[in-house]
A and B are shown apart, each in its own frame.
Chain A
């Protein structure tokens, strides 16, 4: 039934193996899943369950050992480094646990980084970055350095940065892990709003509370999908409604 809509991400039998000395560790095993536009997904699981590997594969930071990864219908699992960089810069937005802002750049310059690598002109990227900073409530702090901001504010800069190139999917890795509950809550509210606007978000987390907040939950254990709420029947119509 969900085949009526083209999935934004489709994994087909994806495996990721790591060579650890003489052992081969299978971090992901035969993972197949489809993610549809407008999905609001949390990927949960115990540490060592394959979450990070999943993030790296989905984020095109790493490539699967086996299987296919279709992003917007295009196989990205065998692209070369330059094309992968292009995909990351154009179609994906990253939000990290430790914000990962560049220390020597100001708020607005940090937001501009992805635009810079896409060759957007200086004037246009500045305009877009200022708009995004205002959108996340940092309009008054455009020229501050990351060190002059609170954790919550830094994470909002990171969100603005992730939105800069209008990506197809936003990947958040433990985005609230370093924040107190109040600023964490602020960040989650921004995620909710973004999803309401139709953005596809994938939150990677170990926080069980997130499962209630998102519309779809995927649990990983031992490198395999243990549970996918889309097939658990609870919210499987979500994708269609969004469409």
Chain B
């Protein structure tokens, strides 16, 4: 068979007629064609949908990690496990744990490249606005916190160095908390109450998508929507009002904790030194703390892990996609082989009337490609629809990259070619005499 001239000898007009003929033949068996194409439809749709979900999830994870700052190392105090502090509790009812100012001083003194240290303290309590109250995380921090943690200020301003030094009663709310406390009115300039003190709202900061920096002793108190209520105060103000020992009376239970610093963000000036610095800090902290009452988050490392996870996900996805398209392709091949047998006589007639072998090959190949191509188009449509539905109902971020439908469609057409060649060749290689005699 002269393969080199399979398409070469075809004028566009003739190719168009062959395509029309193929469509007519497929249209004669609508249900069968539809069912045959289904394998490809679902294969293509699942490829696009899974890629979209994977992209979305990985994008969300990376955004969260990036929002922590890739040059940062975040240290958090955590309550040691019961086992580790069982001895301590016998001596004192105040639980003492966590990062200390001494740690910070040592880090600044010994770890090279440390440019900024943002200490922070956290507690959890109700924030009041007249009769409205919201259970929130209250964090004491420094004026350069938003810049360090890549958080955007949406309204007003963050508190200043002067307010920090003067221990002013000012605060910044995150959008979720502002919306709860001031559902209808403007929050800037108004006062909110925390325990016995009143604080003026000077700004509103963007909420974190999900509080990756929370955890530790306070634990992120999440609203039903997954939002975290946050109130930010100058660290000095928080220390002065609440001291080092936190006493909480909640639903009749009593809890006392002494924590100097809940959260410290260390910024390393060179991204290449982040990993080395994190090792140094880990070493330093392990000498100062007998119990593991702190936690270290290195966003850069998390980013790398996320990239690795995504790679694994892509491999798994690729295998699933390959398998589903393989199954779809085998389905098409099966039906095309049956079709060839069923249409043996037609092949004989066409051969008697002057069709060359390559005409027959092309006719059946075009039918298969039309079938898989149509399946591909339906699959792309379905594959674009599924992420929309998922985003709408499951509230998950999905991202459809432009190349993914293009890739899926191309593969579906290629599947048609690969699995169509054999039935088409079989059709063409029948002897005209035998084909005509076939009943």
Interface residue ranges, A against B (CB under 8 Å): 56, 59, 61-62, 81-82, 85-86, 88-90, 94, 96, 100-105, 113-114, 116-119, 121-122, 161, 165
Q: When chains A and B are docked, how far (Å) is the Cα of A102 from the Cα of B363?
A: 14
Per CB-CB distance, the 8 closest pairs between chain A and chain B, nearest first, are A89-B354, A117-B354, A85-B356, A114-B353, A61-B432, A100-B349, A104-B28, A61-B433
Query: Known contacts A62-B433, A102-B349, A122-B13: does B357 contact A114 (CB below 8 Å)?
Result: no
- Do B433 and A85 have beta carbons less than 8 Å apart? no
Q: What mask results when residues 426 to 439 of chain B are scored 1 for a CB within 8 Å of chain A, else 0?
A: 00000111001000
Residue A88 contacts which of B24, B345, B354 (CB distance < 8 angstroms)? Answer: B354
Please tell me if the beta carbons of B353 and A119 are within 8 angstroms of each other in the complex: no
- The residue in chain B whose Cβ has the minimal distance to the Cβ of A162 is B353
Bound state CA distance, A117 and B351, in angstroms?
Answer: 10
Given contacts A119-B11, A119-B14, contact A113 B433 (CB under 8 A): no
In the complex formed, the residue of B with least CB distance to A161 is: B353
CB <8 Å contact, A104 and B24: yes
CA distance A165 to B353 in the complex (A): 10
Q: Which residues of B contact A113 (CB under 8 A)?
A: 349-350, 353
What 7 new A-B contacts, CB under 8 Å, besides A88-B351, A113-B350, A116-B14?
A: A81-B357, A85-B356, A88-B354, A89-B354, A102-B350, A104-B25, A104-B28
- Residues of A near B352 (CB, < 8 A) are 59, 61, 88, 94, 100
Question: What 1/0 flags go to B314-345 for Cβ under 8 Å of A?
Answer: 00000000000000000000000000000001
Q: How far is the CB of A162 from chain B (nearest CB, A)?
A: 9
Q: Which of B376-427 contact A (CB under 8 A)?
A: none
- Residue on B nearest A100 in the bound complex, by CB: B349
The answer on a CB contact under 8 Å between B17 and A96 is no
- Between A and B, 11 residue pairs with Cβ closer than 8 Å are A61-B432, A81-B356, A82-B2, A100-B436, A102-B349, A104-B24, A114-B353, A117-B350, A117-B353, A118-B354, A119-B11
Whole-angstrom distance between the Cβ of B340 and the nearest chain A Cβ: 15
**CB contact under 8 A between A165 and B354, given known A61-B433, A100-B349, A102-B346:** yes
Shortest CB-to-CB span from B23 to chain A, Å, is 11
A101, B432: Cα distance in complex, Å:
15
CA–CA, A118 and B13, complex, Å: 13
Q: How far is the CB of B420 from chain A (nearest CB, A)?
A: 19
Given A61-B432, A104-B24, answer yes or no on A82-B354 (Cβ-Cβ < 8 Å): no
Of the listed residues B11, B346, B353, the one surrounded by the most CB atoms of chain A closer than 10 A to its CB is: B353
Residues of A within 8 A of B354 (CB): 85-86, 88-90, 114, 117-118, 165
CB distance from A123 to the nearest CB of B (A): 10
Contact partners of A103 in chain B: CB under 8 A:
346
Cβ of A104: which chain B residues have Cβ within 8 Å of it?
24-25, 28
Partner of A56, one of B25, B355, B359, B433: B433
Give the distance to chain A from B436, nearest Cβ to Cβ, in Å. Answer: 7
Interface string of B344-373 (1 = CB under 8 A from A): 011011111111111100000000000000
Contacting residues, chain B, for A94 (C-beta < 8 A): 352-353
B-side contacts of A165, CB under 8 Å: 354
Q: Is A82 touching B13 in the complex (CB atoms < 8 A)?
A: no
Query: Are the C-beta atoms of B14 and A85 separated by less than 8 Å?
Result: no
Q: Which residue of B lies closest to A105 (CB)?
A: B24
Q: Which residue of B lies closest to A171 (CB)?
A: B352
CA distance A96 to B435 in the complex (A): 13
Given contacts A100-B349, A119-B14, contact A82 B433 (CB under 8 A): no
Taking CB atoms, residues of chain A closer than 8 Å to B345 are 100
Contact partners of B432 in chain A: CB under 8 A? 61-62
Query: Which chain B residues lie closer than 8 Å to A114 at the CB level?
Result: 353-354
Is the beta-carbon distance between B353 and A88 smaller than 8 angstroms? yes
Shortest Cβ distance from A241 into chain B, in angstroms?
A: 32
For B2, list chain A residues within 8 Å (CB).
Answer: 82
CB of A89 within 8 A of CB of B355, answer: yes
CB distance from B13 to the nearest CB of A (A): 7
Q: Which residues of A contact B24 (CB under 8 A)?
A: 104-105
Contacts of B348 in A (CB 8 A): 100
